Amino acid sequence: MATGRSHRPATRSRGIPEATVARLPLYLRALTALSERSVPTVSSEELAAAAGVNSAKLRKDFSYLGSYGTRGVGYDVEYLVYQISRELGLTQDWPVVIVGIGNLGAALANYGGFASRGFRVAALLDADASLAGRLVAGLPVRHIDELESIVADNQVSIGVIATPAGAAQEVTDRLVGAGVTSILNFAPTVLSVPDGVDVRKVDLSIELQILAFHEQRKAGETEGRQEPDGDVPAVMPA
């Protein structure tokens, strides 16, 4: 769902392509499910199917991590969980601020998956003064005027924007000015950021429009396969 633009080179410092990095969370999710079921090893074919990629691509991706598996045995699940988590930076705590505590922002604040994946919501911020002090997911909403001090005090490097489109760029500028270098943007707008700042965009309406396109195409294919009713008129000679 997320699409993004990076101002960094197409490969990471360790030579891992961005396309591979984008698939690592898929592998980690599948591996975590296996780990929770106490599965000790997994073949590349099984893991690829669980992650929704082909096995050749998976093996290539894992070669960048220096993990090649064992012929006839497969990959050690627990080691791969650790290895991918380390590569993604999930072996440390990442403080996150969420800006815009409307319906979407509140839902994000209540999402339990952040903490289990190494992300701690450090603060919830909103420009509406009437929301200040209100508890959402156990945290008091803070006024946007506190943004800079909160980022500095909590060493925040990741910001989540859930504001209306019109406010998103100003919030982005303030986050970047305060030292935030990674932004997850839920606002339906394109953000302008300087070099060294990564933006990932999640636009639910775009995803729905893409699904609508596929539904329309499938409907057209179904209609094309239907036999016409009645006799087909003969072609009259000229």
Is 183 marked within a binding site? no
Binding residue per annotation — 89? no
Cβ–Cβ contacts within 10 Å for residue 27, how many?
A: 24
Mean pLDDT, rounded, of the chain: 88
Is-above-0.95 flag for pTM?
no
Q: Do domains 13-87 and 94-202 have the same CATH topology?
A: no
User: Does 166 belong to an annotated binding site?
Assistant: no
In the chain, count of helices (H) and strands (E)? 9, 10
Structure confidence at residue 134 (pLDDT): 97
pLDDT digits (tens, 9 = 90+) for 6-34: 444 333 445 889 999 999 999 999 999 99
pLDDT of 233 higher than 60: no
Domain ranges of the chain: 13-87, 94-202, 209-238
Determine if residue 113 is labeled as part of a ligand binding site.
Answer: no
Structure tokens at 191: 């953000």
Rounded to 5 degrees, φ, ψ at 155 are 50, 50
CATH architecture, range 94-202: 3-Layer(aba) Sandwich (3.40)
Q: What is the pLDDT of residue 6?
A: 41
- Residues 102-118 have a mean pLDDT of 91
Residues 6+ apart with CB under 8 A from 18: 6, 10, 11, 12
Mean predicted confidence (pLDDT) in 123-127 = 98
174-187 average pLDDT score: 97
pLDDT at 14: 59
Domain 13-87 has CATH 2.70.50.30: no
Q: Are 158 and 183 in contact (CB under 8 A)?
A: yes
**How many Cα atoms are found within 13 Å in the side-chain-facing hemisphere of 187?**
25
